[in-house]
Chains A and B, each alone.
Chain A
Amino acid sequence: DTAVSQTPKYLVTQMGNDKSIKCEQNLGHDTMYWYKQDSKKFLKIMFSYNNKELIINETVPNRFSPKSPDKAHLNLHINSLELGDSAVYFCASSHPRGGGGADTQYFGPGTRLTVL
């Protein structure tokens, strides 16, 4: 069984379009994340979300928005796509207990977004 799944795996689109990436986890975790990995493999946190709070990396443009229909899903919506949005986007989940980040993050397989 796939723990964290993402769809689609590849996404090619034109500048200016709006697109969504879906993420689902079956681990029973209560916190989910979106990361962006650039062409140099640098991994940047975009959002962290649980049923209590949304933490947004302040450098993320407001064209990006997370949407969580329930605890097992965290989708990423991107409006007005730009060339610089081309990257691999990873969804992840964890189950923080007691704060302080001791828990393992479980990553999805990634979605390679190419904006033409």
Chain B
Amino acid sequence: AQSVTQLDSQVPVFEEAPVELRCNYSSSVSVYLFWYVQYPNQGLQLLLKYLSGSTLVKGINGFEAEFNKSQTSFHLRKPSVHISDTAEYFCAVSERGGSYIPTFGRGTSLIVHP
């Protein structure tokens, strides 16, 4: 069975600063990896996902993530954040050839200050 760890429950940052949200996973097989974003009082929506191929994945709103198999990580980055990026970010993993139901991390709250 797979598991996901989001190391930071909360990340405060100033507007226009870079940010990295960390995600590590555990699985005995190959995986698919996802980042979802939840804006206040809304449902989750997909930011980006890694299925195969290039380990650097670009998503919406200027976010990108890099899959690192040796470190079992899939950290999310943005070079310059905006106030509107304030939201909850969830990393998720599902196993290739296994259950199609993903396992979600506990979320990281990104708080962007002016």
B-contacting residues of A (Cβ < 8 Å)?
A: 4, 31, 33, 40-43, 45, 48, 55, 90, 92, 94, 96, 99-110
Contact = CB atoms under 8 A, between A and B. Distances in A.
Interface residues of B, number: 27
Interface in B58-106: 88, 90, 94-102, 104, 106
Contacts of B49: 102, 104
Contacts of A42: 106-107
A43 B42 contact: no
Contacts, number: 69
B101 A41 contact: no
A92 B43 CA distance: 9
A107 B90 CA distance: 13
A79 to B, nearest CB: 24
A1 to B, nearest CB: 15
Contact of B98 (A33, A40, A99, A108): A99
